[in-house]
Structure 1
Amino acid sequence: MQQVQSQEIAFQSQKWLKVAFLSVAVTTALAFTGCASKPQINNSVRYANAPDYYTVRSGDTLSGIAQRYGLSYISVAQMNDIAPPYTIYVNQSLRLKSSGKKTTTTQSYTDSTPIQRQSIALPNQTQAATPPVQNTVPQNTAPTVTVAPTPTSLKWVRPSSNAIIARYNAAGNIKGVRFGGNLGDPIYSAADGQVVYAADGLKEYGNLVLVKHIDGYITAYAHNSKMLVKSGDNVKAGQKIAEMGSSGASQNMLEFQIRLNGKPIDPATILPLN
């Protein structure tokens, strides 16, 4: 009898551990998907306690802030002229109510500023069928805005020593550089930074790693066969972070992008590609 009771207690403990693990997993997923969750319905009690303006802190997402005060994140985005994918920044001042005097905050990034976690705009997704190799980047009917690089103390290195099979072409919707190679070839971080995404949530990019750097730069490494880092890891320039593969593509390749404040940069302007 005592043995049966012990087995029952062990079963119940495992059951509750699974429930707790799933709760943590869901919470973590929501933190990184940011504003991809459904709009929240206004809650009168939480809304009454909401300030007129809220200053974004490290780890905040637009949906999380809205839910905290019983608001719809879409309404908050509209009041603050924030367009999809609803990216927000540390020290940004957000209007939560239609009345109230706005306070100003200053956002600054210096070489000594630690890298902060924040909502990161992932590459665009489309519903188009998988195209040939030269068009594996999701198609976007909106015009591509290319900006010039800004001064930075970052030291850049090539993410792959392999040959280039396609170069940046804004008109052709190629938003980065593509390296050919073999399954398992090493992929390196192009500069010092912090991993903010390492998953396969975007089908067109397969196993995708995003690294955030200082001065508004983000680098993307797509189609990996294996990812050797996880979100939150700090990486150095030249550190191996993944292995080449064909996830989300029709051949082994590395799709490498550099973005400045969310907009694509021609990697050739700052990387030693020749």
Structure 2
Amino acid sequence: MIVKRGDTYSEIAETHGLSTRALIEINGAKPPYTIYPGDVLRLPQPRIYTVAEGDNATKIARCNGVDIWSLVQLNKLKHPYRLSVGSKLHIPRRIRAPHCPEERTQVVGTVPAAPAAPAESAAGAAPVPAVAPGAVAAIPDPTAPAVPATPIPESAAPAVPPAPVAARQSAGNAKFLWPAEGQIASRFGTKSGGLKNDGINIAAPAGSPVRATADGTVAYAGNELQAYGNLVLIKHEGGWMSAYAHNQELKVTRGDRVLQGQTIAQVGQTGNVPNPQVHFELRTGQGRPVDPLKHLGK
């Protein structure tokens, strides 16, 4: 297709029912993703899925190796995200190996991926967010089975040192602090039985502070993703996104600008967890989860 004045990657993707990230990747675009009138863009061929009996948004996302947040956004699904048998869904870019758990099999949930990088408008206008901030709360179909947000705790895990506000560790363009003081209940990566943790879980006293790992803007603060309980997502410099789940009380709201070390919540036991803890994730601008322990201050 030929770019017109005022076009952005995000608007073009939405018009054609595509993922912004997929559109950027197939055209080999690089930050700041500037496009100009007359540019010719390739459009990726959308993958179509037909909803079958027993399907829900969570299951379809997992079985296709995609992020549920992207699936909901791409198809403009509305709360409560009930799907009709035979309806067609566009499937976004695959970000992980497909995994279709058997019924009653425990599956570790993942916090929604970070929004795609901002897309510059044609002719060098101000950047337009590739993903609307309000779309962060991608809620799975409530008829789906409960999906635990955290794996079974690893009792033998070593203690985590306190998270002093001054401790910083470089990770690309971001600097990250420990979000809470406590012990590691579960580490990043694949677990037995095909489970996977896209972050770490820190067991900590209920009511103790949960701190922002770096300066940023709150992209989501709420409890609509039931498995995660009270959840906070923060967007950081360089496209990074951090997530904090299972909180007792939230101290911030969407759109708030927060500083590194600022208390954003209190440790809690909301969502599918047996004891007070923080499920913490770090994701790159491409939406990939990374091991927080490799990026946190000592």
**Do Structure 1 and Structure 2 share a fold, with TM-score over 0.5?**
yes
Partner of 2:228: 205
Aligned to 1:256: 280
Q: Distance in 1 between matches of 2:182 and 2:256?
A: 25
Other structure's SS at 2:227 match:
helix
Contact 2:233/2:242 (8 A) holds in 1? yes
Q: Is the 8 A contact 1:223 1:245 kept in 2?
A: yes
Cα RMSD (Å) of the superposition? 4.0
How many percent of aligned residue pairs carry the same amino acid? Answer: 27
Q: Quick one: which amino acid aligns to residue 194 of structure 1? A: T
Query: Does the 8 A contact of 1:125 with 1:204 survive in 2?
Result: no
Alignment correspondent of 1:151: 172
CA drift of 1:135 comes to: 4.8
Q: What CA distance in whole angstroms lies between the structure 2 residues aligned with 1:264 and 1:132?
A: 14
**Normalized against structure 1, the TM-score is what?**
0.55
What amino acid is aligned across from residue 157 of structure 1 in structure 2?
L
Equivalent of 1:195 in 218, 240, 245: 218
- Structure 1 position 91, deviation (Å): 2.4
Q: 1:185, 1:243 within 8 Å by CA — same for their partners in 2?
A: yes
- 1:267 corresponds to: 292
Letter in 2 for 1:91: A
Give the superposition deviation at 1:253. 1.0
In the alignment, structure 1 residue 161 sits paired with structure 2 residue 181: yes
Contact 1:183–1:244 (8 Å) recurs in 2: yes
> Counterpart of 2:118?
90
What TM-score do you get using the length of structure 2 for normalisation? 0.51
**Matched residues in 2 for 1:183 and 1:217: separation?**
27
Return the letter of the residue paired with 1:173: K
Deviation at 1:184, TM superposition (A): 1.0
Q: Which runs of 5+ in 2 are unaligned?
A: 24-41, 47-65, 75-114, 154-169
Following superposition, the deviation at residue 162 of structure 1 comes to 1.3
Please tell me whether residue 176 in structure 1 is matched to residue 199 in structure 2.
yes
| Alpha carbons of structure 1 residues 272 and 158: separation in structure 2 relative to 1, 3 Å | same
8 Å CA contact 2:117–2:129 kept in 1: the answer is: no
1: CA distance between counterparts of 2:150 and 2:243? 18
Give how far 1:80 is off.
4.2
| Inter-partner Cα distance in structure 2 for 1:188 and 1:206 | 17
Q: What SS class does the counterpart of residue 268 from structure 1 fall into?
A: helix
Q: Which amino acid aligns with 1:254?
A: V
Counterpart contact for 1:91–1:106, Cα < 8 Å: no
> In structure 2, what is the Cα distance between the partners aligned to 1:131 and 1:156?
26
Greater Cα radius of gyration, structure 1 or 2 = 1
Q: 1:55 aligns with which of 1, 4, 8?
A: 8
Counterpart of 1:134 (choices 119, 126, 151) is 151
The answer (yes or no) to whether the contact 2:206–2:248 under 8 Å persists in 1 is yes
Asked if structure 1 preserves the Cα contact closer than 8 Å seen for 2:171 and 2:295, the reply is no
The total of aligned residue pairs comes to: 186
Q: CA contact under 8 A between 2:247 and 2:266: conserved in structure 1?
A: yes
Question: CA 1:122–1:236 in 2, change beyond 3 Å: closer, same or farther?
Answer: same
The question of whether the paired residues in 1 share the 8 Å contact of 2:181 and 2:204 is answered with: no
Letter in 2 for 1:233: D
Question: What is the CA-CA distance between 1:272 and the residue it aligns to?
Answer: 2.7
| Counterpart in the other structure of 2:266 | 243
8 Å contact kept, 2:177–2:213: yes
**Contact 1:189/1:241 (<8 A) preserved:** yes
The code of the aligned residue for 2:118 comes to: V
2:241 is aligned with 1:218: yes
Asked whether the 8 Å contact 1:187–1:243 carries over to 2, the reply is: yes
